[in-house]
Amino acid sequence: MEIMNYYSLIPVLLLVFIIPTSIGAAEKNLEINISAKGDAKVVHTLSTKSTISTVVVTSISEKISEIVAIDDEGIILDTTQQGDSIRIDTLGVTFVTLSYNADIVTNDAGLWRISYTVNENTFITLPPLANVVSMNDFPISVENNSLEMSPGQISISYDTSDATIKEFSVSTKGTKQSVQIMSDSNIDGFIHDDGKVLFNIYDNMPMIVRIPDSLMTKPLQVFLDGKLIEHQIYYQGNTDSWLRIEPAQSGTIAISGIIAEPKITEPPIAEKTIEQPISEPKITKSEGGGCLIATATYGSELAPQVQFLREIRDNTVMNTSSGSFFMAEFNQLYYSFSPTIADWERENPIFQEAVRAFITPMISTLSLMTLADSGSEIEVLGLGISVIALNLGMYVAAPTIMIYQIRKSF
């Protein structure tokens, strides 16, 4: 009876592993090429079956044009579009290249934005000199114009100018913090004084400013030459705020948490600015802290992996009482050794690569936490236990079993 039950599992395993692999192999690649004018050219590379006469492909947008499907012999195949579906009469061919133009790029005040939804990995090529400033609404700085994005709802913002990130060091209550400003504008005269920051700009270029919450009380206000101007909350983290400011002219910008209009004084000589790579700001444990080891491993607190860890911590774990308790206990242990590890990484590139190889699988397992609804105690607790168990299996159980089997062999 036990043998029969064992063999009865074979069809189930085939359904779980083999069939999804065959379906997933239908679309091997999806590329998106963005021109300097914001035009998006989409190319699907498809492997089909000779026994199938038609194939239906889901496009990344309903607003598409110039649809062309070509087989491996260069013959143009008939296509029909209905909504976001494209039907291709493959006539038994085994290889098809589908291309079309998609209206997925918009421009707002000089900032380009790509938005689309897919169920597979995409490879995006941006225009030369493009600077990515956010991915899925999280601020980030990436100069590489070739990106690989995971399935899901994708949003990428970039500009094509030479935007730089300047970092200014300030002190409050004996603790050093950093204010970061990303802009094409020439910035000087930075000062932090009496609950506000001030700096000079010499044009009307848009900018994104990162302000640690410990520097001033919210709500924040932005002034240009003493007059209140509008701003947008680009991203709100657990320990900092990212503001998007679009000044109408040159002048002195003042950001304040004080309701009354701040008195504009002549800024002193600018503090020393630090161009990228950006150093890790020192944050106290009570504020949640920074990802010291990940920042040292990936080179910047704006690296995608570090932003991902911050998102999981701020938007998922810290929104529950059990998660907050776990982070408080975890921080006590983490900050007892992480500064030393981070220093070793900065001093030894080989050690840095070893740490990267060690923590990358762990960061991948944390993607499970994105499945939890914000504020759900049960989901965060259940998925958190699953992630811990998965990491114990990878980093403890698997090596232990491997060592045991090796010793047993000898």
List, for residues 155-167, the tens digit of each pLDDT value.
888 877 555 678 8
Q: Do 153 and 201 belong together in one domain?
A: no
pLDDT at 196 over 90: no
> What sections of 122-238 are H helices per DSSP?
none
Could you tell me if residue 297 is inside a domain?
yes
Q: Give me the DSSP letters along 247-307.
A: -SSSEEEEEES-SSPPPP----SPPPPBPSSPPPPP--GGGT---HHHHHHHSSTTSHHHH
Q: Considering only 80-94, 123-137, 193-207, 341-355, which range has the smallest mean pLDDT?
A: 123-137
Q: Do 141 and 37 belong together in one domain?
A: yes
Q: Do 172 and 149 belong together in one domain?
A: no
pLDDT at 197 over 80: yes
Global pTM reads 0.38
Q: Do 148 and 169 belong together in one domain?
A: no
pLDDT at 382 over 80: yes
Task: Identify which of 182, 153, 142, 178 has the alpha carbon closest to the alpha carbon of residue 166.
Answer: 182
Q: Do 153 and 248 belong together in one domain?
A: no
Strands 152-159, 131-135: pairing is: antiparallel
Range of the domain at 186: 164-256
Q: Do 227 and 301 belong together in one domain?
A: no
Could you tell me if residue 188 is inside a domain?
yes
Task: Identify which of 374, 288, 376, 293 has the alpha carbon closest to the alpha carbon of residue 324.
Answer: 288
How many domains, the chain? 3
For residues 58-62, give the mean pLDDT.
89
Could you tell me if residue 270 is inside a domain?
no
Could you tell me if residue 262 is inside a domain?
no
For residue 305, the model assigns a pLDDT of 81
Domain containing residue 63: CATH number? 2.60.40.3650
Q: Which two tokens stand for residue 175?
A: 């603790």
For residues 120-145, give the mean pLDDT.
76
Q: Considering only 73-82, 303-312, 387-396, which range has the smallest mean pLDDT?
A: 303-312
At residue 185, φ and ψ (nearest 5 deg) are -70, 150
Q: Do 34 and 155 belong together in one domain?
A: yes
Q: Do 184 and 140 belong together in one domain?
A: no
Place of tokens 């994104």: 208
For residues 16-30, give the mean pLDDT.
42
Q: Do 241 and 168 belong together in one domain?
A: yes
Residue 290: pLDDT band (50, 70, 90) is low
Could you tell me if residue 266 is inside a domain?
no
Boundary-marking domain end, from 106, 135, 159: 159
**What are 87-119's pLDDT values in tens digits?**
988 777 878 899 999 999 988 766 788 999 888
Task: Identify which of 61, 51, 110 has the alpha carbon closest to the alpha carbon of residue 86.
Answer: 61
Q: Do 362 and 333 belong together in one domain?
A: yes
pLDDT at 288 over 50: no
Q: Do 251 and 341 belong together in one domain?
A: no
Boundary-marking domain end, from 159, 180, 205: 159
Handedness of CA 21, 23, 29, 35 (dihedral sign): negative
For residue 328, the model assigns a pLDDT of 80
Could you tell me if residue 3 is inside a domain?
no
For residue 161, the model assigns a pLDDT of 59
Domain containing residue 249: CATH number? 2.60.40
Boundary-marking domain end, from 159, 174, 192: 159
pLDDT at 284 over 50: no
Could you tell me if residue 234 is inside a domain?
yes
> Residue 78: helix, strand or coil by DSSP?
coil
**What are 339-355's pLDDT values in tens digits?**
888 888 888 889 988 98
Instruction: Kindly report the average pLDDT of the chain as a whole number.
Output: 77
For residue 48, the model assigns a pLDDT of 75
Could you tell me if residue 277 is inside a domain?
no
Q: How far is CA 301 from the centre of its chain?
A: 12
pLDDT at 128 over 70: no
Q: Do 112 and 192 belong together in one domain?
A: no
